[in-house]
């Protein structure tokens, strides 16, 4: 079981370049890849996307890829002289208006966006650099995967605690519901006999009517469905063949909650209602955890 959150980063460098890459992921309904940084070529972007689509199915991924050529021959320094002159003309007019009280250093002007712009020529990255960069990228990606797996295992361990509590409470509910059903049968039978004591009645018919009335509060079917969903939830968490589990586990939690509401509406017992509330609390704990599961 994998979490949708994870993080990993790494660097590699050579005599004339350096590269930094990091992967960070958050919860998301689908796979959403977002690239940031400088120097990512279409080739690198395509290769990184292929890595993710083979192993990752859900999550919002932030990919930072910074590639810097230290060889000055590959730098392309752009200086926007026209923009600087326009800014200086406006500054001079403002200074005249305020009689020279305003000052603006050249250093501040040069920091203005788009005055200086540094481009690199990345199209001619040689094969040796490409191999090293992709090897580092795969190592970081494997660490990123492992971070999601480790967090997923932690989520599963927490989920198991609530899962065991639910199983124990369901057993108690079954026993209490069986006792309540018998008590209801006896009470209903006594009421029928009390109101019909002046008439000649068929004992079998009284028992039949009492049984029909008692059956309306029977929760065997609901408990069996609850147990089936409860069992499937654990199986799903342990199954290593299934890549995406979060959506099905969330659906199972919703179904389990639905069964508890049905049980609560059919049963007229404060004791069983208290147990049902405990089950709902543990289901909600699980549901909160699996919101983060891929």
Q: Hey, where are the domains in the chain?
A: 6-73+121-148, 81-114
Question: pLDDT tens digits, residue range 156-177?
Answer: 999 999 999 999 999 999 888 8
In the prediction, which pLDDT does 80 show? 75
Give the burial class of 207: count Cβ atoms within 10 A of its Cβ; 0-12 exposed, 13-18 middle, 19 or more buried.
Answer: middle
Q: How far apart are CA 235 and CA 1, in angstroms?
A: 11
- Pairwise pLDDT comparison (144 vs 19), residue with the higher score: 144
Per-residue tokens: 293: 């599961």
Mean pLDDT of 224-232: 93
| pLDDT exceeds cutoff 70 at 140 | yes
* Residues counted in the chain: 294
CA distances from residue 262 to 14, 167, 211, 273 in whole angstroms, order as listed: 66, 18, 20, 11
| Residue 62: closest CA among 37, 39, 43 | 37
Question: pLDDT tens digits, residue range 233-274?
Answer: 999 888 888 778 888 999 999 999 999 999 888 887 888 889
- Pairwise pLDDT comparison (260 vs 42), residue with the higher score: 260
Helix (H, G, I), strand (E, B) or coil at 122: coil
Model-level pTM? 0.71
In the prediction, which pLDDT does 196 show? 59
Dihedral class, residue 280 (left if φ above 0, else alpha if ψ from -120 to 50, else beta):
alpha
| pLDDT exceeds cutoff 80 at 70 | no
| Residue 52: closest CA among 183, 129, 140 | 140
Question: pLDDT tens digits, residue range 85-110?
Answer: 787 787 777 777 766 666 666 677 66
Name, in order, each residue with C-beta under 8 angstroms of 21's C-beta and a sequence gap of 6 or more.
9, 10, 11, 63, 64, 65, 66, 136, 137, 140
Q: How far apart are CA 156 and CA 145, in angstroms?
A: 16
| Residue 236: closest CA among 260, 213, 252 | 252
The total of other beta-carbon atoms located within 10 Å of residue 159's CB is: 23
pLDDT band at residue 209 using 50, 70 and 90 as cut-offs: low
């Amino acid at each position: 079981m994998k979490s949708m959150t994870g993080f990993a980063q790494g660097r590699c460098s050579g005599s004339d370049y350096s590269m930094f890459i990091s992967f960070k992921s958050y919860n998301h309904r689908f796979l959403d890849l977002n690239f940031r940084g400088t120097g990512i070529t279409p080739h690198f972007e395509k290769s990184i996307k292929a890595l993710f689509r083979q192993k990752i199915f859900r999550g919002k991924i932030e990919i930072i890829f910074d590639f810097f050529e230290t060889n000055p021959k590959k730098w392309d320094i752009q200086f926007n002289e026209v923009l600087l002159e326009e800014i200086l003309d406006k500054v001079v007019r403002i200074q005249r208006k305020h009689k020279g009280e305003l000052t603006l250093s050249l250093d501040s002007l040069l920091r203005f966006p788009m005055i200086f712009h540094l481009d690199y020529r990345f199209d001619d990255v040689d094969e040796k650099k490409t191999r090293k960069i992709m090897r580092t990228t795969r190592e970081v990606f494997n660490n990123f995967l492992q971070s999601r797996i480790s967090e997923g295992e932690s989520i599963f361990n927490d989920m198991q605690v609530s899962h065991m509590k639910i199983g124990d409470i369901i057993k108690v509910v079954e026993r209490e519901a069986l006792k309540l059903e018998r008590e209801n049968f006896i009470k209903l039978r006594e009421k029928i006999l009390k109101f019909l004591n002046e008439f000649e009645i068929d004992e079998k018919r009284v028992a039949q009517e009492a049984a029909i009335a008692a059956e309306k509060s029977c929760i065997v079917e609901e408990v069996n469905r609850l147990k089936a969903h409860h069992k499937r939830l654990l199986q799903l968490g342990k199954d290593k063949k299934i890549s995406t589990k979060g959506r099905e586990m969330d659906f199972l939690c919703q179904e389990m909650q639905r069964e508890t509401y049905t049980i609560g509406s059919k049963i007229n017992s404060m004791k069983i209602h208290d147990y049902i509330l405990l089950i709902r609390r543990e289901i909600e704990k699980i549901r909160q955890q699996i919101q983060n599961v891929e």
